[in-house]
C-alpha cells in the first residue's frame, strides 16, 4: 500500500495508533481489508504494539491492537465470530475498547433479556 494514499479504514487505523501512543486508549479495533493486512502489521510491529487478527471472511478481518494486557484478554475471548460472544464477553470487550459504559450496560441487559426469553 502506498503510504501517501491511505483508505478511510487505514486513516482510522493510523489515528488509533497515535491515540495508543499518547495514552488516550489502551486498545483499539479496526475492521480492514486483507489487502491492508501487511501494511497494518508492519506499522504495529514498528510501534511495538501487540495485536490479534480475527478473520471475518476471505476479504476482511478484525484487527485488535494495543497494550499486551488487553490483547491477552482478546486472545482468550475472541476465539469465534464477535456476534457469537456471550453477553458477558461482549460487555467486557466493549468496555475494554472504551465504549460508553452506560450504553454497554444497556446492550448487556438487552442481550441477556433476549437469551432469557428464548
For 23-53, what is each residue's pLDDT tens digit?
999 999 999 999 999 999 999 999 999 999 9
Secondary structure in 3-state letters for the chain: CCCCCCCHHHHHHHHHHHHHHCCCCCEEEEEEEHHHHHHHHHHHHHHCCEEEEEECCCCEEEEEEECHHHHHHHHHHCCCCHHHCCHHHHHHHHHHCCCCHHHHHHHHHHHHHHHHHC
Average pLDDT in the chain: 94
| 49 contacts 117 by C-beta, under 8 angstroms | no
| 63 contacts 40 by C-beta, under 8 angstroms | yes
Q: Which CATH class is domain 1-79?
A: alpha beta
Length of the chain: 118
For 48-79, what is each residue's pLDDT tens digit?
999 999 999 999 999 999 999 999 999 999 99
CATH 3.30.2190.10 range(s) for the chain read 1-79
Amino acid at each position: 500500500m502506498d503510504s501517501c494514499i491511505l483508505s478511510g479504514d487505514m486513516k482510522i487505523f493510523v489515528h488509533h495508533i497515535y491515540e495508543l501512543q499518547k495514552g488516550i486508549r489502551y486498545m483499539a479495533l479496526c475492521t480492514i481489508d486483507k489487502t491492508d493486512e501487511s501494511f497494518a502489521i508492519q506499522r504495529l510491529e514498528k510501534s511495538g504494539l501487540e495485536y490479534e487478527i480475527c478473520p471475518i471472511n476471505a476479504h476482511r478481518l478484525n484487527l485488535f491492537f494495543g497494550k499486551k494486557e488487553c490483547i491477552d484478554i482478546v486472545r482468550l475471548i475472541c476465539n469465534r465470530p464477535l456476534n457469537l460472544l456471550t453477553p458477558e464477553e461482549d460487555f467486557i470487550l466493549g468496555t475494554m475498547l472504551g465504549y460508553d459504559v452506560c450504553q454497554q450496560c444497556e446492550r448487556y441487559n438487552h442481550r441477556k433479556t433476549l437469551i432469557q426469553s428464548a
